[in-house]
Chains A and B, each alone.
Chain A
């Protein structure tokens, strides 16, 4: 046995030594850490600019060590778009919850994605509004009881939940979409791999990348953290299956732009380079 002690676990540099506001058992802490580990491993904290949302992670600007901007509710993709346009060499990410990203900010999300903004979005889907105390979210499940669906989400009147990865997968500007979870060490490792891909894609200029993390809200679901993960596995994952929803590289393209060009190959105006014998 060696005398020297080996460090096997420490706080990532990109995570500040502060106490977070997250509830005990909340998965935000895990995902915050994964993002920070990735910033460390890619050595980009110094040129990273993060955009925090409104919701439980509203104060993430105090947790991440990189430069941070607090956005208005739902507007993180618009803010991140502009930051990336000003600093193309920066590494720009938005960290958003389901109400922020898929309800009030859906227009900003869809348009940042379809513009192919070269940003990274981390999306925490826990099927409820946590910060305001447990209201129905755009991703709350059918019959899920929340403060504002006290008799359970009635799809006849409240409509259906939105599957964000599936929705965004039709858009040409998107390079990479994956839904992961963090309910086990194995899944945490897979989540980190996905988050790292999403940042690496940005650095490689591939297009818009989003990682959706199927998550929990023990406080507002009224469960222990372990029961909450069990409920999530039983109810959310069948509705929101894990997996890769778009990966232009796996599809054989260099970038979202190249994939989009292939998809629109038959459209003449989209491909002036194919015009024959005509002056432009």
Chain B
């Protein structure tokens, strides 16, 4: 008996790793940390067979600087870690942004701060969207919500990174990394089909002037000019790459906003609310930066109330409030430390909002 539609049952971490290799990633540099370890282990097992390199670095700092080097050398390259390790990588991510280097960074989030815990969390939202290193820059941040999306977004992340010459982060969590679901894997990309990188440092072969990969500009005006150019590219990303999924929002009085693992719970809560006759819906940002304000604005405009659900103390809710811009009330419900909220407790929040709305009406 063959599985339907070529579906395979895989852990999120493994599906992501497999999809990355199918996207043409042949270089992986990492350091062990729970709960992303299966991702690195899968790479270690399967990279050699594809003629690729898996290298366990001495630290997260070294790993991200290897990513910097491999990217400068023109390769599709990736690293993965979990929250404390991502903090260490921020140095290299800033340098990649400053040198306009593509690359893919995976964060399979766990609870923090500090050593924190190892259970699923979304408490690195601010870090991913605001502070992946020093200086003026943004990183494209993608938020998968299923194992299928772990694969699909990893596959796309390399194209986005190359297209805009920027690091791209996949902000997953321990739940998505560890769980298995059926997944249809993307096709294997031929390495010949990957985009040309005339800027890469590959040896000039006496055929051109030397290429330099660098983020140092000691003349303030020059650095300002380059930063402004980069922000023009960011404006194009904000215009063209926003992505969100809307579920039952057309007639919804109460619209939940949730991403990643929390969005699955929010969706269950929406179904429970609908079963009780409460008109609830869900907007699920797939891109966290650029934040899909375009999906929020019309819903705010027609006066729906918002409930942001996160596995943290309230981070994305800032972006929801900015998108809503005072047009509608925005409530927040979250669990932190690695606690996964249940659909029932989210339903309680929806009921309370519904009651408030009823009082107001």
Tell me the minimal C-beta distance from B351 to chain A in angstroms. Answer: 51
Task: Tell whether B203 is near chain A: CB-to-CB under 8 Å.
Answer: yes
Which residue on chain B has the smallest CB distance to residue A79? B69
Q: Do residues A86 and B92 form an inter-chain contact, with CB atoms below 8 A?
A: no
Q: Which of A67, A81, A91, A110 contacts B66 (CB 8 A)?
A: A81
B202 within 8 A of A: yes
CB contacts under 8 Å to B, within A31-89, are 45-49, 51, 58-59, 61-62, 64-72, 75, 78-83, 85-87
Residue of A nearest to B71 (CB): A82
**Distance, CA A79 to CA B207, complexed state (A):** 24
B212 within 8 A of A: yes
B202 and A87 within 8 A (CB): yes
Does B244 sit at the interface, judged by CB under 8 A? no
Q: How many A-B residue pairs have CB under 8 A?
A: 128
A108 within 8 Å of B (CB atoms): yes
CB <8 Å contact, B69 and A78: yes
Cα distance, A231 to B207, chains bound together (Å): 45
CA of A108 to CA of B66 in the docked complex: distance in angstroms? 10
Q: Is A225's beta carbon under 8 Å from chain B? A: no
- Total count of chain B residues near the partner, CB < 8 A: 39
Residues of B near A72 (CB, < 8 A) are: 65, 68, 91-92, 95
**A85 and B55 in contact, given A67-B210, A71-B68 (Cβ under 8 angstroms):** yes
In contact, B69 and A51 (Cβ under 8 angstroms):
yes
Cβ-defined contact, B73 with A82, below 8 A: yes
**Which A residues lie within 8 Å of B70 (CB)?**
82-83, 85-86
Q: Which residues of B contact A78 (CB under 8 A)?
A: 57, 61-63, 65-66, 68-69
A–B pairs, 19, beta carbons within 8 Å: A46-B207, A47-B205, A48-B203, A58-B216, A67-B211, A69-B201, A70-B212, A72-B65, A78-B62, A78-B63, A78-B65, A79-B65, A79-B68, A79-B72, A80-B69, A82-B69, A86-B74, A107-B58, A111-B57
Binding site for A on B (CB under 8 A): 27, 29, 53, 55, 57-59, 61-63, 65-70, 72-75, 77, 91-92, 95, 99, 201-207, 210-216
Residues on A lying within 8 angstroms of B by beta carbon are 16, 45-49, 51, 58-59, 61-62, 64-72, 75, 78-83, 85-87, 90-91, 107-108, 110-111
